[in-house]
Amino acid sequence: MGGNTTPSKKPLLTDPPFYLPEFERSYRYIIDEYDVEPKDIGIFLPCAMRKPYSTSPSHQLIRMVISQVFSDDQYHIIVFGTCGIVPSELEEMYPYAHYKYMLGKCKDQKVLDDFLRIETGRVAGYLAKTKGVYRYRIAYCLGIFREALIRGAEQAGVSIDLILPTRDIINKVIEEGECAFQEGSLSMDDYLGEFCEELVRFRNEHLKPE
């Protein structure tokens, strides 16, 4: 799919990516052709402005927490959001490293509704495809991305075992009200602290050494 063309040689896509045929074709490749390696845990993270996603400051913080709790062979990171849904090892494949769009700045309700509908379907498709690939599924997300993930899980009939941040921490951040976005950023200390604690708890409860 991605070929040998470097990111700099590809055009930068700036329209809402969930409408674009490039993203639908790449999604179909992942669903219809790509083999996902089985892991104990699938960890679902929202996409980021900086590409590739793993180079973004927020993803680096989140990945650092994950790597402190789980060994590399236990988990698989999946990125979702305006990009659709993509295994993290494919983050440099076209068009995932070749677009710039921020849904948080969108005020058009139709575009937001379309995103929720399209992304719900794509999440459901991936969860159905990987139903037997992961023993457990963990998500770390906020806002409309979180809503799409929850709806997609319901549509696919595949449960998300742990969704963070918890509502209590989200409400605390909203009440303090000092964020650019209502629910703040996933890289905030309150969220990351809870994320680490809950991952440790989950590991100790579900992945006990034999």
What are 67-89's pLDDT values in tens digits? 999 999 999 999 999 999 999 99
Distance (Å, rounded) from C-alpha 51 to C-alpha 64?
18
How many C-beta neighbours within 10 Å does residue 26 have? 23
Nearest to 160 by CA among 182, 140, 192, 138: 138
**Quick check: bond before 38 cis, omega within 30?**
no
Averaged pLDDT, 177-192: 81
Instruction: Examine the pLDDT at 5 and tell me if it is beyond 50.
Output: no
What is the reported pLDDT for 210? Answer: 52
What is the reported pLDDT for 3? Answer: 43
pLDDT above 90 (res 116): yes
Q: Mean pLDDT lowest for which of 10-14, 41-45, 50-54?
A: 10-14
Say which residue, 1 or 36, is predicted with more confidence.
36
120's tokens: 């719900």
Checking if the pLDDT of 9 tops 90, the result is no
Q: How far apart are the C-alpha atoms of 202 and 162, rounded to whole Å? A: 8
